[in-house]
Amino acid sequence: FGLQRPKEHCRTFLLNWMAPEVMDNAKTLPLRVSHQPDEPPTSFASRLAWRNFMPARFFTRDMGIDFNKLASGCEVTIAKLALLGAASLEALMKCSIRKKGSVITLKGQVLNRNDLRRSRVHICPRCVQEDIAGSDLPPKLAVRNRVAWALNPIRTCPIHDAALIEVAKDIPVHDTHDWTGNVTPVISSLPDLVDNAPTRKPSGLETYLMARLDGHSSDLWLDTLEFHAAAHFVEIIGAVAAFGKK
C-alpha cells in the first residue's frame, strides 16, 4: 500500500474491509499508526485516516464514526476508533476533552470554551522534529498532537523551554480536528520554525496548570477553584500587576 494509492481505491478497500459479512476480528485496520502518549483521539483519528490515504472527515464518515462525538469525548465513539486502530481505549479516554452539555472537562479538570484553541493549531517545533526523527513513518504521519497544545493558557513547551508557535488559524469548521491535514503544510518549514521559536521557561501559571492536568495538587488556595477559573484569575492579577488598573 504505497502512499500514492488513489483515494477512491482506498475508500473501496476500507468499505469492503468493514462490511458486515467480514469477520468481526478483521475490523482492526491493516494500515495503522500507534497511539502516542498524551495524544488526543482527534489527532490519532486524523493520523489513522491519512495512513489510509483519506482526510479525517471522509475517513470517519466511511468508518461510521461521528467526528463531533469523537471530539466531544463520547466513549462509545472513541471505542470504535480504538478498535480500528488497535489502541487502548483507556489511554484514548485519558487524553480526551469531554463535553457534556455546557460542561467541558479534561483529565478531571473543568474548562470553558475560551480555554480551547478551536480553529487554530499551535506546536512546539522541536517536539515535532523529535516525532519525525523517532519514527519510521512518513513525517506527516509521525507528527502527533499533544492535548496541552489545544489549551489557550498553555503557551510554552516545558520539555524544550520554547514558545508554542501558531502554524494554522481560521481553520474551516469541517477541518478543525484534522490534525494531520492542518499540520502537514508546515513540516517543510520546521528548521526555520525551530530556529525562530522564542526560548523561555514556562510561567508559574503554566507550570501550575500542567501539574493539575497531571493529577498533582498543591497547597495553594487556587486548588479550590476550577481549572478555568484559576487560569483566568491569575492572568487578570498578572495583567493588573504589569499594567495597573484601567
Q: What pLDDT, in 10s, does the model give residues 147-200? A: 999 999 999 999 999 999 999 999 999 999 999 999 999 999 999 999 999 999
Helices (H), 63-147: 67-71, 75-85, 89-94, 125-133, 139-142
Residue 26, all three cell numbers: 478483521
SS3 37: coil
Among the residue ranges 86-90, 193-197, 239-243, the one predicted with the least confidence is: 239-243
Which residues partner with 217 through β-bridges?
none
Q: Mean pLDDT throughout 45-63?
A: 95
SS3 94: helix
Q: Which amino acid is at 213?
A: L
Among the residue ranges 44-48, 72-76, 238-242, the one predicted with the least confidence is: 238-242
DSSP structure class, residue 25: G
Q: How far apart are CA 78 and CA 91, in angstroms?
A: 10
Q: How far apart are CA 185 and CA 183, in angstroms?
A: 6
> Residue 38 — left, alpha, or beta (φ > 0 → left; ψ -120 to 50 → alpha)?
left
pTM of the model: 0.87
Q: Mean pLDDT throughout 68-94?
A: 96
DSSP structure class, residue 116: B
Q: What pLDDT, in 10s, does the model give residues 110-124? A: 999 999 998 999 999
Nearest CA among 104, 101, 126 for reference residue 114: 104
Nearest CA among 76, 45, 47 for reference residue 61: 45
pLDDT of 236: 82
Q: What pLDDT, in 10s, does the model give residues 201-237? A: 999 999 999 999 999 988 888 999 999 999 999 988 7
Contact residues for 152 (Cβ-Cβ < 8 A; gap 6+): 114, 115, 116, 117
Q: How far apart are CA 166 and CA 178, in angstroms?
A: 16
Which residues partner with 165 through β-bridges?
123
